[in-house]
């Protein structure tokens, strides 16, 4: 059973993060969860062009100003009767967020994401993408600042049958139940795999269809359509999201090698970069299986 007791929303005051706050408020209402709004002040060097200055004083002033701005954002959730706390922390963004998840009893993260420096993104990935690899809790990534539906009407769940598939379906089914949404469960068989199996393609596709249906709750067939497609996974997923149309994409994520991460990124990362709707990435290791500080 999926529980959301405490939802963390990193806020950088860019439009995408403010959209994320509104999505988090809606989730908090439906799951009776608390919100934690977090703003991170990144470290600054105590000099510019060789001229020293009082970095501590600047951080203190920035902290005061950021806290005031974060309280203004929190007014949105207070107006919806959602219990909310604000945190302002100093340090590297992804490190601070990871720490907050582990120390504050967070079991779900909603985050607005936007493109930054192209070269840095290629070699290191964005903050959101680094978090995808390290967070032990689901991450709902919202790439666009444009308004997103307050109510999910159709949820697309994609799986490659890797570790974490059952968790992704569990979250998708829970959200579909809370929002009264329909679901599509999708598996994409890569072109190369399809070519190799040749004449066995038909029986294999039927077998995959059966395996997908067996992952659903007993009454899942009434609300969920199962699809098995052949082609490029990323293209097929994005195409299906448009075709349904989906208001949310849910994916399970699992560990990749360091070289895979640095060179081409995971399927989840690529979907988040390209999708026109929010993407929920569910890790194979859930915070519910770890000892965490209880939500306050």
Mind listing the pLDDT tens digit for each residue in 25-55? 999 999 999 999 999 998 876 655 555 566 6
Domains 1-146+279-296 and 149-277 in one fold: yes
Tell whether the model's pLDDT for residue 199 goes beyond 60. yes
Distance CA 279, CA 223 (A): 20
Tell whether the model's pLDDT for residue 290 goes beyond 90. no
**Confidence category of residue 227, pLDDT binned at 50, 70, 90:** very high
**Confidence category of residue 57, pLDDT binned at 50, 70, 90:** confident
Say if residues 54 and 106 touch (Cβ distance below 8 Å). no
**pLDDT of amino acid 129:** 78
Distance CA 57, CA 53 (A): 9
The second-level CATH assignment, the architecture, of 149-277 is: 3-Layer(aba) Sandwich (3.40)
The arithmetic mean of pLDDT across residues 190-208, rounded, is 71
Q: Which residue has the tokens 């393609």?
A: 201
Distance CA 25, CA 242 (A): 26
Could you tell me the residue ranges of all domains in the chain? 1-146+279-296, 149-277
Tell whether the model's pLDDT for residue 233 goes beyond 80. yes
Distance CA 271, CA 279 (A): 8
User: How many alpha carbons lie under 13 Å from residue 89 in its C-beta half-sphere?
Assistant: 19
pTM: 0.85
**pLDDT of amino acid 120:** 34
**Confidence category of residue 181, pLDDT binned at 50, 70, 90:** very high
Q: How far is CA 136 from the centre of its chain?
A: 12
Q: What is the share, in percent, of the chain residues with pLDDT greater than 70?
A: 77
CATH 1.25.40.10 fits 1-146+279-296, yes or no: no
**pLDDT of amino acid 162:** 83
Residue range 118-162, pLDDT digits in tens? 333 333 357 887 888 889 999 999 887 566 666 899 999 999 888
Which residues are paired to 279 by β-bridges?
141, 249
């Amino acid at each position: 059973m999926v529980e959301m007791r405490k939802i963390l929303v990193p806020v950088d005051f860019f439009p995408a993060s403010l959209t994320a706050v509104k999505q988090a408020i809606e989730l908090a209402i439906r799951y009776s969860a608390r919100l934690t709004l977090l703003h991170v002040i990144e470290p600054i060097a105590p000099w510019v062009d060789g001229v020293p200055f009082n970095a501590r004083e600047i951080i203190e002033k920035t902290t005061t100003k950021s806290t005031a701005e974060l309280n203004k954002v929190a007014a949105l959730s207070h107006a919806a009767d959602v219990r909310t706390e604000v945190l302002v922390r100093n340090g590297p963004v992804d490190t601070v967020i990871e720490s907050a998840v582990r120390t504050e009893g967070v079991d779900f993260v909603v985050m607005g994401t936007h493109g930054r420096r192209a070269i840095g993104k290629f070699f290191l990935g964005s903050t959101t993408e680094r978090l995808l690899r390290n967070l032990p809790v689901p991450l709902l990534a919202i790439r666009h600042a444009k308004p997103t539906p307050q109510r999910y009407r159709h949820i697309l769940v994609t799986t490659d049958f890797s570790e974490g598939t059952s968790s992704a379906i569990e979250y998708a089914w829970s959200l579909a139940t809370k929002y009264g949404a329909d679901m599509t469960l999708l598996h994409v068989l890569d072109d190369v795999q399809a070519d190799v199996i040749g004449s066995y393609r038909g029986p294999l596709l039927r077998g995959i269809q059966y395996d997908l249906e067996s992952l659903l709750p007993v009454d899942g067939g009434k609300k969920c359509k199962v699809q098995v497609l052949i082609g490029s996974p990323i293209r097929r997923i994005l195409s299906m999201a448009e075709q349904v149309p989906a208001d949310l994409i849910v994916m399970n994520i699992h560990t990749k090698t360091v070289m895979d991460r640095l060179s081409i990124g995971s399927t989840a990362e690529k979907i988040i970069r390209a999708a026109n709707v929010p993407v929920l990435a569910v890790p194979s290791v859930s915070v519910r299986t770890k000892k965490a500080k209880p939500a306050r």
